[in-house]
Amino acid sequence: MLEGEIDLGDDVVIGPYCVLKGPLRIGAGTRLIGNVVLQGPLELGTANSVYPGASIGFAPQWSDSDHDRPGPGTRIGNGNIFREGVTVHRAMGEEQPTRIGNRNYFMVNSHVGHDSSIADHCVLVNGVLLGGHVRIDDRVVIGGNAAVHQHVHVGRGAMISGLTGPTLDVPPWFMITGINYASTVNMVGLRRSGMPAEEIADVKWVYRTLSTRRLTRPEMLAALAKRSEKAIVSEYIDFIEASARGICRSTPDRRRK
């Protein structure tokens, strides 16, 4: 069933029992395999694949929100795969849509909450739950049945193990193996990214610096400032300065006075 304003690119495939409610724009080469429900406002780019049972663009699961208000909707890039039962909710705010970039893989029954932002080349394994306003940077991998608390920022290249999850921000390339516990760095991801060995060594130094002592935020920034001329270290400084929740590491934050 097609309803409302719907703009279809070349070679779009709409399988049986799909329901599309505009306004929708679907790019060339996208496949809706069957039993897919899309709710506008929604922009879905080129060469995406959406499997049966996926629902994209519906209102947030927020008891006080107006489910009939379309808002800024949902905006999705190119080459993404949405497997069976994936749900993506549109934005609750007034300005920015829920955003998904390019070439991400959403496995069975994973969920993207309202107002979230996902960059490129990320993998969400079966049953992953992202709360509202979550920000996921490039090349993040999240294991099965993991959950990310609302408003958390996950830095590029980070990995979150299955059956766990953060309520604090996850620095780039850190690996989360417990609740807010970063046990190591994502060495497999670092090597696959093509990062030079010198920069990988800097990432490991940052991890040791942040995790071997119970440092306050000013102390962390002061310690990293010793190598701030290195681009990768400067990235960590910017990440920590911007963090509103505190960061995951292997030692807890010192209690603030």
Q: What are the catalytic residues? A: 114-115, 132
Measured torsion, CA atoms of residues 135, 140, 143, 146, in degrees rounded to the nearest 10: -10
If you ran DSSP here, which 8-state letter would residue 16 be given? T
Residue among 81, 119, 11 nearest 56 (CA):
81
Write down the residue that tokens 């909710």 correspond to: 89
- Report how far residue 231's alpha carbon sits from residue 150's, in angstroms, rounded to the nearest whole number: 29
Q: Is residue 79 a contact partner of residue 46, using CB atoms and an 8 Å limit?
A: yes
- Report how far residue 117's alpha carbon sits from residue 132's, in angstroms, rounded to the nearest whole number: 9
- Residue 180 Rama label (left phi>0; alpha psi -120 to 50; beta): left
How does strand 37-39 pair with strand 19-21?
parallel
Amino acid at 166: P
Write down the residue that tokens 């991998």 correspond to: 141
Q: Is residue 170 a contact partner of residue 188, using CB atoms and an 8 Å limit?
A: no
Rg for the chain (alpha carbons), in Å? 20
